Amino acid sequence: MATAFDSIPLIDISPLLAKWDDPNMVQDQGVAEVVRQLDQACREAGFFYVKGHGIPDSVIEEVRNVTYKFFSLPYEEKLKIKISPATGYRGYQRIGENITKGIPDMHEAIDCYREVKPGMFGALSKPLEGPNQWPINPPNIKQLMEEYIRMCTDLSRKIMLGIALALGASADAFEGLLTLVNQDDDKTALEVRNLSGEWILAPPIHGTFICNIGDMLKILTNGLYESTLHRVINNSPKYRVSVAYFYETNFDAAIEPLDICIKRTGGTKKFGGAVYGKHLVSKVQTNFVNEDELCS
């Protein structure tokens, strides 16, 4: 039975990364301990920090630096890559453009996704079709971010391998369903709600990512793993940068509770199925003020 956590667990995943392609990895004590910690974190908190992840601090910091440089540009310059339905909901979103539960969010962002060509996933993917929009300034942002995405994809795949092993599933059971957050080192703003309804701070830890699991993994595990409510409250007088990478499943994937997880949770299927792309498109299309204003 899950308990009400009072802090976010920190996991050194270096043993898992060292053995991830070893067919006998499950017999390694270091890997077994990482798997145990991942299992506990996903059951109890839905959030965890990872260190020993292999992505250089210099890259993590440079990603935040170029992000600062872009958002420091004049508003008119940022609008050159303005997000809209016509751009496949890719590009710059201004402050107050994104909404949560009907309330405008006080943040600005650049949104990008896997690039989708027309017809790649049928009619369902049409709202998100198109290439990503990258700004001209800073001049290295496209190259840096694409390499960073490659690194995060590789890291996320290996973390998900550990989570699959924690569930007793095959090593390739999961492809997606994880978020890696690269947040400023000097501002505590992220909060996670525990089972008692308390908001637990997730302060930055230098050299780590903070990870959280999403709704699709909660469905796949039949509720064994928890997708946890969280929020961001920045009380600093300075603005905060957070670069979130979403390792998501295939667009046309049908998400259903896995048989092994149904058995481990009493034998009853607790969730209906979902098509990931339909879930994503619905989320994107309802996350903005309205389409007319987006196109204005």
Question: What is the rounded distance in angstroms from the CA atom of residue 184 to the CA atom of residue 267?
Answer: 43
Place of tokens 């601090």: 57
CATH number at residue 141: 2.60.120.330
pLDDT band with cut points at 50, 70 and 90 for residue 296? very low
pLDDT tens by residue, 19-74: 999 989 989 999 999 999 999 999 999 999 999 999 999 999 999 999 999 999 99
Where in the sequence is the domain holding 22, given as residue range(s)? 10-73+137-289
Q: Would residue 141 count as lying in a domain?
A: yes
Q: What is the pTM of this model?
A: 0.91
- Residue type at 280 in one-letter notation: L
227 is a domain residue: yes
- Strand order across the beta sheet in which 190-193 lies: 199-201, 190-193, 230-232
Q: At 251, which amino acid appears?
A: F
Quote the CA–CA distance of 89 and 82 in Å, as a whole number.
9
Rounded to whole angstroms, the Cα distance separating 82 from 69 reads 17
For 187, the token pair is 């501002």
Tell me if 107 is assigned to some domain: no
Structural contact between residues 197 and 229, judged by C-beta atoms closer than 8 angstroms: no
Element (H, E) at 34: helix 29-44
Number of domains within the chain: 1
**Tens digit of each residue's pLDDT (9 = 90 or more) over 274-287:** 888 888 888 888 88
Cα-based torsion angle of the residue sequence 281, 285, 288, 289 in order, rounded to the nearest 10 degrees:
-170
Distance of CA 7 to CAs 4, 116, 217, Å?
9, 39, 22
Provide the token pair at 288.
Answer: 């903005």
> Is the pLDDT assigned to residue 101 strictly greater than 50?
yes
Report the pLDDT value the prediction gives residue 176, as an integer from 0 to 100. Answer: 81
Asked if the structure places residue 265 within a domain, the reply is yes
Cβ 254 vs Cβ 209: under 8 Å:
no
Tokens of 202: 């997730």
Question: Residue 69: inside a domain, yes or no?
Answer: yes
Look at residue 3 in the predicted model and tell me its pLDDT: 65
* 201-213 mean pLDDT: 95
Helix (H, G, I), strand (E, B) or coil at 151: helix
Does residue 94 form part of some domain?
A: no
Query: pLDDT tens digits, residue range 238-285?
Result: 889 999 999 988 888 888 999 999 999 999 999 888 888 888 888 888
112 occurs within a structural domain = no
- Domain-located, residue 41: yes
Centre a 10 Å sphere on the Cβ of residue 102 and count the other Cβ atoms it contains: 6
Cα 24 from Cα 189, distance rounded (Å): 41
